[in-house]
Structure 1
Amino acid sequence: MKILTFHKGQGTALGIRTDRGIIDVEQAAAAFGLPAPATLKEVLAGGDAARRELERLVEAVGTVQGDWLLEEERIVFAPCVPDPGKIICVGLNYRKHAEETNAAIPNYPVLFNKFSNTIAAHGDDIEIPRTTSQLDYEAELIIVIGQKTKYVSKDEALDHVFGYCCVNDLSARDLQMRTPQWMLGKIGDGFSPIGPYVVTADEVGNPNQLAIRSIVNGEVRQQSNTSDMIFPCDEIVSYISQHLTLEPGDLILTGTPEGVVLGYPPEKQVYLKPGDIVTIEIEKLGALTNRFVAEAQ
């Protein structure tokens, strides 16, 4: 199931993407007299019962036409996970990316964090901060945690995952490399556009067998597969859970493959500039596209 959040009136609404269009969950539930969660937070809190309600709603809608069915091209997306709790990132997690940046292969997952101010949606314009001249793209897979998770084994880790989505883990390289701590280069406003959908784990299958790529102004820059991860998704979830409690809606960004600007020779490095359009595509998860603009004065 592909679940999304979109802008509606003065707020946001929950949607489900189908082959026929986007189901407005609240409106369809009212029309068919069925219970259904109204937000992604309610979906996560409701667990399997909430999932079944959404599945029953999709079955009820079937081929029936109604104003609860929206054209995807006409909606304005909100972040597919609107209010994540923790945003935990794994650095240097693809072998070829570590090699292109001349970094040693890590013995343990390299962890850092981002904050909720970095969250943006598919289709949003992303401002390039005036404090950087080296904004880089990073195509990444996000793990969306589905239940409270602590000390989980690797074998059981993926049972705690609700789903997956695309993210562009934007990085201001000049700020990132200013000190040994990367955080400054990672926490700009809008530096984590996510979406367009959260795709549930059952629909994705093995998260470490997905094609992943980034496209800048129509040119493919990154093209890889999540199988190149040094630490696969189950190991990442298990490892993090040994050190803190993961909660429903927490996001784990799992690293980026080779092909980022930082990996090019200095004379070939061309960082993002106003007017650039970047698309992140991951197999089964859709395509996340954003345009970059100068920061408002």
Structure 2
Amino acid sequence: MRIARFVAAGADPAYGIVELAADGGRHPDTIAAISADPLAGPVNFTGVRHRLDEVRLLAPVIPRSKIVAVARNYVAHAAELGDEVDREPLLFLKPNTSVIGPGESIVKPAETDDLHYEGELAVVIGRICHQVPPERAGEVVFGFTCANDVTARDIQRAESQWTRAKGFDTFCPLGPWIAAHIDLDGAGRLGIRTRIDDELRQDGNTADMVHPIAELIACISGFTTLLPGDVILTGTPAGVGPMGPGQQVSVEIDSIGALTNPVIGADDDHSFAEGGPAVR
């Protein structure tokens, strides 16, 4: 099951269940509206159905509390940055205000000259949990989605902690939907690819994580309570690099889909002048 947030013409943001042509169902490439946020409790179908090409997909989840990200979780990526992998997961936080959805613009801040993409698998937490043992990690996962841990690499190199380098608005694209049909075992062997325009830049597999998903959930929940809608970014494979205004970045993960965002410059971002940022 694929769960999305979307906006139809003249309507408020809503949630729905996506049915793709590849699923072989009766309603290919449509989204069936549901009554509420499925992370908040039981939902029902409303009876309204839209074609996917007639709606705008939003970030499938806006974390109520936090985004916890994992650094250097692939050996080859650590090596390309001149780092070693860590015996324990190396963690940092991204603000929930950095989240954008499919098709929304990543804004290159004027403060950076070295903006990087980092394609990642994101875990969406489905229930309140604390000190989760690894063998029970699957019980707290709602689903998975694609993520781009956008990074101002020059700021990251210059500062001793990464809050600013990783935390600008638009620096956490998520989408296109939450794949709730993938279990923890399946999520541990998914191909993950990142393209800039049509050029393949990253081609990895979640099986190569140094610290697998269950270990990450156990580690993170060991010191902080995880809430429904919290997101864990599980690290990026090798191949990170620069992107800039005028380019398009796409993160594709097997069994989930593709998350695509254009990149614009700070001078091209008119969200404030137009009365506020896009619906996220």
Residue 286 of structure 1 aligns with an amino acid whose one-letter code is: G
* Bigger fraction of residues in helix: 1
Residues 180-203 of structure 1 show CA distances to partners (whole Å, capped at 9, x for unaligned) of 211211011100010000011546
| 1:236 matches 2:201 | no
Q: Runs in 1 of length 4+ with deviation above 3 angstroms?
A: 201-205
Alignment coverage as a number of residue pairs: 260
Residue 206 of structure 1 aligns with an amino acid whose one-letter code is: G
> How far apart, CA to CA, are the structure 2 residues paired with 1:273 and 1:129?
10
| 1:178 matches 2:158 | yes
Query: Larger Rg: 1 or 2?
Result: 1
Q: TM-score, normalised by structure 2?
A: 0.88
Residue 87 of structure 2 aligns with an amino acid whose one-letter code is: N
> How far apart, CA to CA, are the structure 2 residues paired with 1:24 and 1:6?
11
Q: Note if contact 2:113-2:154 (Cα within 8 Å) is conserved in structure 1.
A: yes
Residue 22 of structure 1 aligns with an amino acid whose one-letter code is: T
After superposition, where does 1:1-297 map in structure 2 within 5 Å?
Answer: 1-8=1-8, 9=10, 11-19=12-20, 20-26=28-34, 37-39=35-37, 43-46=38-41, 50=42, 57=45, 68-202=48-182, 205-261=185-241, 271-296=242-267
Q: Are residues 218 and 129 of structure 1, via their aligned partners in 2, closer, same or farther at CA, if it must alter by over 3 Å?
A: same
Residues 81-137 of structure 1 show CA distances to partners (whole Å, capped at 9, x for unaligned) of 034321100000011111222211201000000001110000112211111110000
Q: SS where residue 5 of structure 1 aligns?
A: strand
Q: Name structure 2 gaps, 5 residues minimum.
A: 21-27, 269-280
CA-based RMSD of the aligned residues comes to 1.7
Q: Note if contact 1:125-1:290 (Cα within 8 Å) is conserved in structure 2.
A: yes
Q: Name structure 1 gaps, 5 residues minimum.
A: 27-36, 62-67, 262-270
> How far apart, CA to CA, are the structure 2 residues paired with 1:21 and 1:283?
18
Residue 14 of structure 2 aligns with an amino acid whose one-letter code is: A
C-alpha displacement at 1:275, in angstroms? 0.7
> How far apart, CA to CA, are the structure 2 residues paired with 1:201 and 1:233?
16
Q: TM-score, normalised by structure 1?
A: 0.83
Residues 61-91 of structure 1 show CA distances to partners (whole Å, capped at 9, x for unaligned) of 7xxxxxx332212211111003432110000
